[in-house]
């Protein structure tokens, strides 16, 4: 037994080391940006290798203070936050009742699964197919470069996540609670609002965070719609390159500013991510 235990322990150690190495490799690009954000301009070019603070270079917070204080960056942070929060709330408000309807009610002419796939097909649609008409429509409504235009479009493309994830959630809730409420004389709205919704609240919160992150990261529509007023964080990053060439140390700060919120969300909403990203097609 001892021999076998030792062999198992060796295997455990070897596989652990491989797993740690793989994880570090995947973390490296994010770490690299972080490391650059802490460097003096001179250090970004002279230091080859992997940039470990206090080993390869003396870290400084100067880039952070310089960048995060600029009105452009604070404005972009404000825009991204307003747009993503509004779009996420809007998508939850529109999508949750629809998810409930597909999970609980029977539709005949269009079968429930076809309605689900109809919503899902939204997500698979190439965004470049809708960006041109959307741009023209917003131009004729005089809504180019407004928060509203980006809130509308972001809500549209995150809506399928809400429908498909919450549909699965409602299917997994015990239907008996709602049915006994109905027997007690409640109507469908009360059964949804008072019984099902509180039970689905944790998944709704997680879904809200995930779709917030998707809106935060969205670039194609943001760059098409914005010219001055509604520069979001991704557009802000892209714009910096055109005007000044790539200044690695500032780019590091901006990349971190962009990446930190969605990455924190990924850590918080971990449990729900598989279902979210596969649109509920795979449980987990």
Closest separation in Å from C-beta 115 to other proteins: 7
Q: What is the token pair recorded at 216? A: 């935060």
Work out how close the CB of 89 gets to other proteins at its nearest, in angstroms, rounded to a whole number. 14
Q: How far is the CB of 228 from other proteins (least distance, A)?
A: 16
Stretch near other proteins under the rule CB under 8 A, chosen from 57-65, 67-75, 199-207, 232-240: 232-240
For position 15 contacting other proteins by CB under 8 A, the verdict is yes
Q: Classify 74 as helix, strand or coil.
A: helix
Q: Is residue 61 at the binding interface for other proteins, with CB under 8 A as the rule?
A: no
Site size toward other proteins, by CB under 8 A = 106
Q: Report the alpha-carbon distance of residue 274 to residue 283 in Å, rounded.
A: 7
CB of 187 to other proteins, least distance (A): 8
The conformation of residue 269, written as its DSSP 8-state character, comes to S
Burial of 100 (0-12, 13-18, 19+ CB in 10 A): buried
User: Which helix (H) or strand (E) element contains residue 167?
Assistant: helix 147-172
Tell which one of 216, 226, 231, 272 touches other proteins (CB under 8 A).
216
User: With binding defined as CB under 8 A, does residue 192 bind other proteins?
Assistant: yes
In the complex, what is the shortest distance from the CB of residue 65 to other proteins, in angstroms, rounded to a whole number? 20
C-alpha 85: how far from chain center: 11
Distances (CA, A) of 282 to 92, 122, 123, 273: 21, 18, 16, 11
Least Cβ distance, residue 98 to other proteins (angstroms): 4
CB 138 within 8 Å of CB 149: yes
Residues β-bridged to residue 64: none
Q: Which of 82, 94, 197, 205 binds other proteins (CB under 8 A)?
A: 94
Q: Which of 6, 10, 29, 172 binds other proteins (CB under 8 A)?
A: 29
Query: Is residue 263 a contact residue for other proteins (CB under 8 A)?
Result: yes
CA distance 83 to 93: 15
Sign for the pseudo-dihedral over CA of 9, 14, 15, 21:
positive
C-alpha span between 118 and 116 (Å, rounded): 5
- Sketch the per residue contact string, 238 through 257, with other proteins: x for CB under 8 A, - otherwise: x--x----x-x--xx-xx--
183 binds other proteins (CB under 8 A): no
* Residue 125 sits in the site that holds other proteins (CB under 8 A): yes
In this chain, which stretch among 10-18, 59-67, 70-78, 197-205 interacts with other proteins, using CB under 8 A? 10-18
Among 82, 137, 148, 190, binds other proteins (CB under 8 A): 137
List binders of other proteins among 161-180 (CB under 8 A).
Answer: 163-164
- What minimum distance in Å lies between the beta carbon of 164 and other proteins? 8
Helix (H, G, I), strand (E, B) or coil at 57: strand
Contacting residue, 133, 174, 185, 245, with other proteins by CB under 8 A? 133
Footprint (CB under 8 A) of other proteins, residues 195-214? 213
**Placement of tokens 């309605």 in the chain:** 115
Nearest to 195 by CA among 176, 167, 169: 176
Q: Tokens 């919120």 sit at which residue?
A: 261
Q: Which of 6, 22, 42, 61 binds other proteins (CB under 8 A)?
A: 22
């Amino acid at each position: 037994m001892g021999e076998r235990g030792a062999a198992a322990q060796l295997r455990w150690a070897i596989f652990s080391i491989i797993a740690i190495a793989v994880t570090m490799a995947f973390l490296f690009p994010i770490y690299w940006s972080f490391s650059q954000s802490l460097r003096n301009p001179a250090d970004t070019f002279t230091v080859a290798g992997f940039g470990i603070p206090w080993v390869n270079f003396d870290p400084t917070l100067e880039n952070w203070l310089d960048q995060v204080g600029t009105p452009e960056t604070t404005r972009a942070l404000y825009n991204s936050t307003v747009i993503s929060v509004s779009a996420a709330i809007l998508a939850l408000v529109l999508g949750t009742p629809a998810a409930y309807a597909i999970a609980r009610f029977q539709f005949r002419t269009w079968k429930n699964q076809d309605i689900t796939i109809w919503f899902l097909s939204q997500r698979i649609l190439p965004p470049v197919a809708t960006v041109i008409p959307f741009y023209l429509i917003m131009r004729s409504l005089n809504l180019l470069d407004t928060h509203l235009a980006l809130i509308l479009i972001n809500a549209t493309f995150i809506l399928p996540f809400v429908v498909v994830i919450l549909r699965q959630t409602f299917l997994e809730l015990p239907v008996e609670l709602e049915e006994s409420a109905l027997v007690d004389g409640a109507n469908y709205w009360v059964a949804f609002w008072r019984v099902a919704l509180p039970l689905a609240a944790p998944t709704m919160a997680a879904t809200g965070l995930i779709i917030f992150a998707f809106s935060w990261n969205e670039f194609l529509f943001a760059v098409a719609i914005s010219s001055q007023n509604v520069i979001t964080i991704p557009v802000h990053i892209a714009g910096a390159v055109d005007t000044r060439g790539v200044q690695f140390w500032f780019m590091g700060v901006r990349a971190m500013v962009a990446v930190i919120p969605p990455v924190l969300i990924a850590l918080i909403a971990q449990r729900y991510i598989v279902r979210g990203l596969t649109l509920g097609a795979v449980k987990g």
